[in-house]
Copies of this chain bind each other. A is one copy, B any other.
Amino acid sequence: MDQEKPIKLSDISKALNLSVSTISRALNDSYEIGEETKKLVQSYALKVNYRPNLIAQSLKEMNTRYIAIIVPEIANSFFAEIVNGVEYEANNKGYHVVIYQTHDSPEREIDNIRAIAHRKADGLLMSPSTNQIQINEIMKHLGVNLPVVYFDRVPSDNYCHKVVCDNYQAAYEATSWLIKQGKRKIAHMSGPSGISISIERQAGYSAALLDAGISVDPGLIRYSKFLASEVMENFKFLEENYQPDAYFASSDRLSLYCYEAVQLLPEPRASKVKIVGFTNTNIAHLLRPKLNAIVQPAFEMGKVAAEMLLNTIAKKNKNIEYGFIKLPAILKNI
């Protein structure tokens, strides 16, 4: 049906006995071209199904209409939903999304950033793994000079674009709920110390305790990477030394590991221990006992972050005013 080789401007040029520049301008609806000529060219282009070569356009305009996003794992519903939000917004504006995974390796993160810059994506969305304070420096050092929007885990300084959910509020609510259930010895399974989400969620947790007249026991707060093994170790430690009557887990994976650990406890303790976590897992509702969890507005976060990025790309370094958007998260499954 269609031609073997894609049609280019010069093909149309020859067929219509017009110069290549006229064809180009006619298709771009330039004022320099007469109306009849435009009609002629445009209808012919339509007839032969002309599509501009995007690579050539990229070379000329020095952009790719690709935006990149770096996530730990797409097999994580939270990040998958973020990606969906990004995709939704980007596709609406003619951009495509390239997903990069770090699998929680900082080396891969660096490699990805480097590759993204090399491939000349027009912008980058990321949730930096560690060293968040230095991430901006790292980017500079890598010679990365693209618009960046951070989401979820974000740097602490204000010279960058950020999209997060209200971690403090969510953690406060979750902890308060546990307290309302009569729990007082509430352990906190936190992510790595030093990253934004850990800090904010811990602050919400502590505030809820204090507001309820419960003192914060630092021994009940345990940090771990997003690894089952580390969570299990911390869990074991807490069970042996504290026997908490509830757990508040600070992220999607931590919640599931923690949930699993609780299920493995002997009865009657297993059913006594309450647990609240974060999760966007789409089959969370199938779990028995229920996993009470904070659900983040992941799709919305991705959408908003993409909007922010595309706006920044559009104004091309002019008017660099950094944005910071915080979305509410809700406690579900209760």
Binding site for B on A (CB under 8 A): 1-4, 6, 49, 51, 53-56, 58-59, 62, 64, 66, 73-75, 77, 80-81, 83-84, 87, 96-99, 101, 115, 118-120, 140-143, 145, 256, 259-260, 263, 281-283, 285-288
Of B64, B74, B98, the contact of A74 (CB 8 Å cutoff): B74
With A64-B55, A74-B74, A84-B75 in contact, do A1 and B286 touch (Cβ < 8 Å)? no
Per a CB cutoff under 8 Å, which of B58, B75, B118 touches A81?
B75
Cβ-neighbour of A2 out of B81, B141, B263 (below 8 A):
B141
Cβ B283 vs Cβ A54 within 8 A: no
A138 to chain B, nearest CB (A): 11
Assembly CA distance A145 to B6 (angstroms): 10
* Closest-CB distance, A208 to chain B (whole angstroms): 27
15 other A-B residue contacts (CB within 8 Å) besides A56-B59, A75-B282, A260-B285:
A54-B119, A55-B59, A55-B64, A58-B59, A59-B59, A73-B80, A74-B80, A74-B99, A75-B84, A96-B115, A96-B119, A256-B286, A263-B286, A286-B287, A288-B288
A109 to chain B: closest CB distance in Å? Answer: 14
Residues of B within 8 A of A73 (CB): 80
Whether A141 lies near B256 (C-beta < 8 A) is no
In angstroms, Cα B121 to Cα A98, docked, is: 12
Chain B residue with the shortest CB-CB distance to A291: B286
7 tightest A-B contacts by CB?
A2-B143, A75-B80, A55-B58, A74-B74, A55-B59, A74-B80, A1-B141
